[in-house]
């Protein structure tokens, strides 16, 4: 079976031939429907990885293949969510979620005629993340966690084949964060899109992902990959099981080694 | 007892009345003569005496100001969009814009008179020249300060530059735009009155120039007050439009006064 996302010896250099090398010789493969997490020390080029896969930045070297074709410009089958919810303050929650439908084809052409059906779809999605009854509220009337749920809904409303998450829960408090792990897992179990989650939270990575990839320091590349064989659905109780704790420890050791290498160098 | 809310509504009137009272008392108390500083009562008398011509000239000034301002809105938005959405246009035009805006508009009026003769046209153009700059700068700022992440979200959905401009850029720069309108309309009055004092046979500026050459200082002050009132009214109109369209941006103020 061919990989859905395939990065082959990819490099990314910012700012011309003498610029900083953010990513070098990076290899990463994902099956269709796989949930992958990428962890690593800060400044290791995790966000650069996001830009490469989505085609927002062209690779300086190597090839990026998504869904069978080489990435040459911004992809249109992607949903994205960031640490900052980036909602539009002049729109209601519902209209924020519906934003991608106004841009992505074929929805864009159909939106006006089938508005009620699309609105129903957005409301249902909001209900699955526990935001029923908040459709008419504006972003500033929502808590940080609610805004992030809305942002998650916005990234999924057009049923993207690939979901890119850049530390989506990093700015939330621990309780809300763990609650949203469950929300995200439920959505993924339902729809089975392919996910790349960039995070620095190892417990989050192990809880959510099928595979956890460890990135090295800048210039970043994947130095280890761990398959997570924990059964699904995982719950908060899972995070206290010895096996879960073992995996997190192993990952932590690996990353602290990477950091020490830098200090020694 | 007044509530805090009522006090807030009453404050502008209280301050204005306070200034007038102090002004009157100072003039009486120090025995200042009328051709140096007329008392508010003298200004009011002059206004009542000449109210016909004052209103005629005021309407003329209002007309040149509003037309110049309308051109400034159109020109300012077009320029602002160009500057705000393209780095190339920004680096090219900005220095020229700054240089242009640094020129005192008084110095431009004689040139305009040579080109267009005396009358309404130089006033309209001066009002335009002085008021389009803040509009252009604010619209450009609103567009240029778009969050890069939001742009990424939209671009990864396949949005074209125009989509981003319409869905995010314009709504986002609306508060900046309306804020600039409030500044620009008051500047437009400055522009048209400057032009009228130099080269016109009509308008409040012309009236004031005539009055001062005849030492009718109370009439000069009456003219000033009329300009100030027109400026405040236009400002209030644009402030009301702003609240109507960009309530989402000023919600904090609403919360504070809404109690």
Facing B167 at nearest CB: one of A86, A99, A164:
A99
ipTM: 0.74
Query: Nearest Cα to B140, choosing from B103, B113, B169, B179?
Result: B169
Rounded Cα distance between B177 and B183, Å, is 10
Task: Assess A56–B contact: CB distance below 8 Å, yes or no.
Answer: yes
Report the DSSP beta bridge partners of residue A78.
A162
Q: Which residues of A touch B163 (CB under 8 A)?
A: 103
Q: Answer yes or no: do B157 and A90 touch at CB < 8 A.
A: no
- The whole-number pLDDT of residue B1 equals 62
Same domain, A63 and A176: yes
Rounded Cα distance between B186 and B193, Å, is 11
Please write the tens of the pLDDT for every residue from A223-254: 888 888 888 888 888 889 898 999 999 888 88
Q: Which residues of A touch B246 (CB under 8 A)?
A: 90
> Looking up tokens 């990435």, which residue turns up?
A71
- The whole-number pLDDT of residue B135 equals 94
H-assigned helices in A27-106: 46-54, 93-97
- Is A145 among the domain residues? yes
Same domain, A229 and A176: yes
- The whole-number pLDDT of residue B259 equals 27
- The whole-number pLDDT of residue B53 equals 92
- Is A152 among the domain residues? yes
B258 has a pLDDT exceeding 50: no
Task: Indicate the pLDDT class of residue A204, thresholds 50, 70 and 90.
Answer: very high
Same domain, A145 and A174: no
Question: For chain A, what is the domain count?
Answer: 2
> What is the domain range of residue A2?
1-77+162-180+194-265
Same domain, A155 and A176: no
Query: Nearest Cα to A217, choosing from A172, A187, A258, A246?
Result: A258
Report the pLDDT averaged over residues B140-161: 84
Kindly list the strands in the beta sheet with A162-166, ordered across the sheet, starting from the edge strand earlier in the chain: A78-82, A162-166, A194-198, A35-39, A211-215, A222-227
Facing A74 at nearest CB: one of B156, B246, B251:
B156
- Is A188 among the domain residues? no
B116 has a pLDDT exceeding 60: yes
Q: How many Cβ atoms from other residues are within 10 Å of residue B203's Cβ? A: 28
Report the pLDDT averaged over residues B199-223: 91
A1 has a pLDDT exceeding 80: no
Element (H, E) at A24: strand A21-30
Please write the tens of the pLDDT for every residue from A95-109: 999 998 888 877 788
- Is A186 among the domain residues? no
Query: Nearest Cα to A25, choosing from A12, A14, A15?
Result: A12
Task: Assess A148–B contact: CB distance below 8 Å, yes or no.
Answer: no
Same domain, A40 and A166: yes
Output the six-digit token pair for A213.
């990839």
Output the six-digit token pair for B49.
């005496």
Q: Which of B142, B151, B152 to mutate to test the interface with A (most CBs of A within 10 A)?
A: B152
Task: Assess A234–B contact: CB distance below 8 Å, yes or no.
Answer: no
The CA distance from A186 to the nearest CA of chain B, in Å, is 23
Report the pLDDT averaged over residues A66-72: 83
Do the strands A194-198 and A5-13 form a parallel or antiparallel pair, or are they unpaired?
unpaired
Same domain, A170 and A66: yes
Cβ A153 vs Cβ A97: under 8 Å: yes
Average pLDDT over chain B, rounded to an integer: 88
- Chain A / chain B CB contacts < 8 angstroms: 62
Report the pLDDT averaged over residues A210-223: 85
In chain B, the N- to C-terminal Cα span, in Å, equals 17
A260 has a pLDDT exceeding 90: no
Element (H, E) at A79: strand A78-82
The CA distance from A98 to the nearest CA of chain B, in Å, is 12
H-assigned helices in B145-216: 148-155, 161-164, 170-198, 204-213
B11 has a pLDDT exceeding 60: yes
Reduce the DSSP state of residue B203 to 3 states and report it.
Answer: coil
- Is A187 among the domain residues? no
Please write the tens of the pLDDT for every residue from A126-176: 988 888 888 888 888 888 889 988 998 999 888 888 999 988 888 888 888
> Looking up tokens 């267009």, which residue turns up?
B116
- The whole-number pLDDT of residue B256 equals 32
Q: How many Cβ atoms from other residues are within 10 Å of residue B20's Cβ? A: 15
Same domain, A138 and A31: no
Q: What is the CATH number of the domain that holds A3?
A: 3.40.50.300
Task: Assess A109–B contact: CB distance below 8 Å, yes or no.
Answer: no
Task: Assess A90–B contact: CB distance below 8 Å, yes or no.
Answer: yes
Same domain, A2 and A127: no
Q: What CA–CA distances, in Å, run from A185 to A152, A251, B124?
A: 12, 21, 64
Task: Assess A136–B contact: CB distance below 8 Å, yes or no.
Answer: no
Domain range summary for chain B, segments of one domain joined by +: 54-247
Please write the tens of the pLDDT for every residue from A20-64: 888 888 888 899 989 999 987 777 777 788 888 888 888 888 888
Rounded Cα distance between B219 and B53, Å, is 11
Q: Which residues contact B163 (CB under 8 A, 6 or more apart)?
A: A103, B154
Task: Indicate the pLDDT class of residue B250, thresholds 50, 70 and 90.
Answer: low
Output the six-digit token pair for A21.
């090398």
Please write the tens of the pLDDT for every residue from B39-67: 999 999 999 999 999 999 999 999 999 99
Task: Assess A86–B contact: CB distance below 8 Å, yes or no.
Answer: yes
Rounded Cα distance between B69 and A258, Å, is 62
Same domain, A12 and A110: no
Report the pLDDT averaged over residues B231-248: 86
A265 has a pLDDT exceeding 60: no
Task: Indicate the pLDDT class of residue B251, thresholds 50, 70 and 90.
Answer: low
Task: Assess A41–B contact: CB distance below 8 Å, yes or no.
Answer: no
- The whole-number pLDDT of residue A67 equals 84
Query: Nearest Cα to B169, choosing from B185, B150, B156?
Result: B150
> Looking up tokens 């009011």, which residue turns up?
B44
> Looking up tokens 């990575």, which residue turns up?
A205
Same domain, A137 and A32: no
Look up residue B40 and give its DSSP letter. H
Same domain, A217 and A258: yes
B122 has a pLDDT exceeding 90: yes
> Looking up tokens 């761990």, which residue turns up?
A226
* CATH architecture of the domain formed by B54-247: Orthogonal Bundle (1.10)
Task: Indicate the pLDDT class of residue B254, thresholds 50, 70 and 90.
Answer: very low
Q: Using CA coordinates, name the residue in chain A closest to B247.
A: A90
Rounded Cα distance between A127 and A139, Å, is 16
Please write the tens of the pLDDT for every residue from B25-40: 999 999 998 888 999 9
Q: What CA–CA distances, in Å, run from B26 to A59, A62, A195, B35?
A: 75, 82, 76, 15
- Is A47 among the domain residues? yes
Q: How many Cβ atoms from other residues are within 10 Å of residue B259's Cβ? A: 7
Report the DSSP beta bridge partners of residue A65.
A6, A70
Task: Indicate the pLDDT class of residue B188, thresholds 50, 70 and 90.
Answer: very high
Q: Answer yes or no: do A75 and B156 touch at CB < 8 A.
A: yes
Q: Answer yes or no: do B156 and A82 touch at CB < 8 A.
A: no
Facing A54 at nearest CB: one of B149, B156, B248:
B156
Same domain, A166 and A209: yes
- The whole-number pLDDT of residue A59 equals 84
Q: Answer yes or no: do B156 and A56 touch at CB < 8 A.
A: yes
Q: Using CA coordinates, name the residue in chain A closest to B162.
A: A103
């Amino acid at each position: 079976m061919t990989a859905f996302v395939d990065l082959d010896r990819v490099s990314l250099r910012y700012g011309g031939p003498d610029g900083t090398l953010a990513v070098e010789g990076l290899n990463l493969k994902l099956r269709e429907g796989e949930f992958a997490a990428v962890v690593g020390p800060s400044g290791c080029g995790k966000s650069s990885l996001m830009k490469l896969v989505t085609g927002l930045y062209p690779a300086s070297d190597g090839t990026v293949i998504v869904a069978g074709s080489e990435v040459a410009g911004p992809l249109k089958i992607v949903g994205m969510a960031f640490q900052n919810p980036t909602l539009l303050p002049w729109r209601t929650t519902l209209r924020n979620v519906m934003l991608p439908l106004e841009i992505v084809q074929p929805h864009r052409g159909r939106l006006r005629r089938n508005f009620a059906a699309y609105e129903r779809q957005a409301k249902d999605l909001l209900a699955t993340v526990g935001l029923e009854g908040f459709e008419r509220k504006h972003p500033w009337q929502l808590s940080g966690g609610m805004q992030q749920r809305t942002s998650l809904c916005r990234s999924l409303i057009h049923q993207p084949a690939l979901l890119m998450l850049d530390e989506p829960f990093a700015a939330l408090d621990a309780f809300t964060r763990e609650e949203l792990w469950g929300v995200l897992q439920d959505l993924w179990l339902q729809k089975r899109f392919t996910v790349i989650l960039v995070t620095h939270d190892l417990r989050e990575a192990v809880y959510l992902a099928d595979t956890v990839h460890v990135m090295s320091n800048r210039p970043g590349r994947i130095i280890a990959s761990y398959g997570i064989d924990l059964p699904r659905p995982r719950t908060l109780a899972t995070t206290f099981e010895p096996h879960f704790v073992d995996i997190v420890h192993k990952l932590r050791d690996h990353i602290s080694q990477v950091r020490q290498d830098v200090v020694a160098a | 007892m007044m509530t805090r809310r009522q006090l807030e509504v009453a404050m502008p009137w209280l301050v204005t009345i306070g200034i007038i009272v102090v002004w009157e008392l100072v003039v009486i108390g120090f025995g200042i003569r009328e051709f140096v500083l007329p008392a508010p009562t003298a200004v009011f008398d002059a206004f009542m005496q000449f109210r016909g011509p004052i209103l005629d000239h005021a309407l003329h000034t209002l007309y040149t100001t509003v037309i110049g301002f309308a051109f400034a809105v159109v020109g300012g938005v077009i320029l602002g969009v160009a500057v705000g959405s393209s780095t190339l246009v920004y680096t090219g035009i900005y220095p020229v814009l700054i240089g242009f805006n640094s020129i005192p508009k008084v110095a431009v009026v004689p040139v305009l008179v040579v080109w267009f003769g005396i009358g309404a046209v130089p006033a309209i153009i001066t009002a335009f020249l002085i008021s389009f700059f803040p509009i252009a700068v604010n619209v450009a700022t609103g567009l240029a300060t778009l969050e890069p992440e939001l742009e990424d979200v939209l671009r990864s959905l396949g949005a074209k530059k125009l989509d981003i401009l319409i869905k995010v850029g314009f709504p986002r720069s609306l508060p900046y735009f309306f804020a600039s309108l409030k500044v620009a309309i008051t500047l437009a009055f400055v522009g048209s009155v400057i032009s009228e004092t130099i080269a016109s046979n009509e308008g409040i500026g012309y009236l004031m120039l005539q009055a001062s050459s005849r030492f009718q200082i109370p009439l000069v002050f009456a003219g000033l007050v009329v300009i100030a009132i027109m400026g405040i009214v236009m400002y209030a109109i644009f402030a009301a439009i702003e609240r109507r369209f960009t309530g989402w941006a000023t919600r904090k103020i609403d919360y504070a006064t809404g109690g």
